Chain A
Amino acid sequence: MIKRLLTILPAAVIAVLALSGCGTGARYIEPGGPEALVTVSAVDPGEWKRVAGEAAQSLVASGALKRADGMASVVMIGRVRNYTLIHLEMGLLTNQLRQAILKSGQARVSSAVGYGGNLDRAVRRVRSNENDDLFNQATVLKRGTVVSPNFSLAGMVIQQNAVSGRTEESYYMFHLTLTDLKTGIAVWEKNIDFAKQATRPLL
């Protein structure tokens, strides 16, 4: 019995040590880089970056933001509708687009109007202090100073899933539109799509 125990114990210790060596500690990876996870059932960080990058490049290259009178355009970030079956945090896309538009020098981005996190309610709130005797009225911002946007950037995301045997595939398409708010006409549109496939193991 003791002999048997002495045989099993070292084997068990070796197995435990080997298995514990399979894990890795927490470490930094490049967001969306080669080490990042790629999943079929979600939009991964690399894809958000890819969509934002392609959209920003296309928008800046198109010249749609430029105005004939030389004035800088003002863009409001509208709603990007999620028609997928999963929760998508659209701020991961719109935040990058805001910055790309600003860096391009072709337009400015409005925080006075917009959807979700692109709207800063402080623009309206500070003006509601105009009758509040708590505030020095000379310092309260007056109405009629906020710049109205010329363009609206909005869009949608569509997902389609397919399963064949053990293979699962997801197709995502982002559609973004820049609309001239004066005429209501879309002056720029861009589709960015990608598909991912994975095959489950047999066992």
Chain B
Amino acid sequence: MKKNLLSTAAAALALILGASGCQDTVNTVENRDLAMNPDSVDTRAFSTDSFCRDRLALISMRRSKTPGGVMMVQAQIRSERYGFWSELWSGMTGTNPYYVLYRFDWMDENGMAVSTAANAWQPLIFAPGEVKFIQGVAPNSRCKDFILSVREDPSAR
């Protein structure tokens, strides 16, 4: 009985270590003294998917004006699916890397949504710990407000 328990525990440990060892996480390093002077955007989020909310972290949201005179926004997002349990779970469920879809919607000065070729769902693939930059460009110079929508990609499951 004791022997069986020990064998099972060893097998379970090997499985856990094996599964967690299969992760390909991204490690980053950046300069500490940043020279940039970004124009940060105050955001308010409406989150309905606790999985997506916990797996992705919005690090920054910035805006600038392009040479074409239109507004550009950039969201810096990091995949939070690193660490032992996250890696173990995503490895076992086959959701590594993490597939999401995102979309920008733009509004003009009257608050009316402007449909563009660019407001279709775009795919994005995150390795654990990976940082990605999502950029959206306003369809014209009258658009100043935007909504960034992010959802898990069900077709990738």
Contact = CB atoms under 8 A, between A and B. Distances in A.
| Dominant SS among interface residues on chain B | loop
B139 interface: yes
Interface in A17-42: 30, 32-36, 38
B111 to A, nearest CB: 17
A103 B114 CA distance: 9
Nearest to B121: A33
Interface stretch (B38-46, B83-91, B148-156): B148-156
A33 B154 CA distance: 10
A56 B141 contact: no
Interface string B108-121: 00000010111111
Interface residues of B, number: 28
Given A61-B70, A62-B67, A63-B68, A50 B122 contact: yes
A97 B139 contact: no
A52 B66 contact: no
B67 A61 contact: yes
A38 B99 CA distance: 14
A34 B116 contact: no
Contacts of A34: 101, 121, 151, 153-155
Contacts of A97: 117
A62 B155 CA distance: 33
A66 B68 contact: yes
Given A56-B117, A57-B136, A60-B137, A104 B70 contact: yes
A32 B118 contact: no
Contacts of B68: 60-66, 104, 106
Nearest to A54: B118
Interface in B80-133: 101, 114, 116-123
Of B67, B121, B154, most A-chain CB atoms within 10 Å: B121
A180 to B, nearest CB: 16
16 contacts: A34-B121, A35-B155, A49-B121, A53-B118, A56-B118, A57-B137, A60-B68, A60-B139, A61-B67, A62-B67, A64-B68, A66-B68, A66-B69, A96-B117, A103-B139, A106-B68
Given A54-B118, A57-B137, A60-B70, 15 more contacts: A33-B121, A35-B155, A56-B139, A57-B118, A57-B136, A58-B137, A60-B137, A60-B138, A62-B67, A63-B68, A63-B69, A99-B117, A100-B118, A105-B140, A105-B141
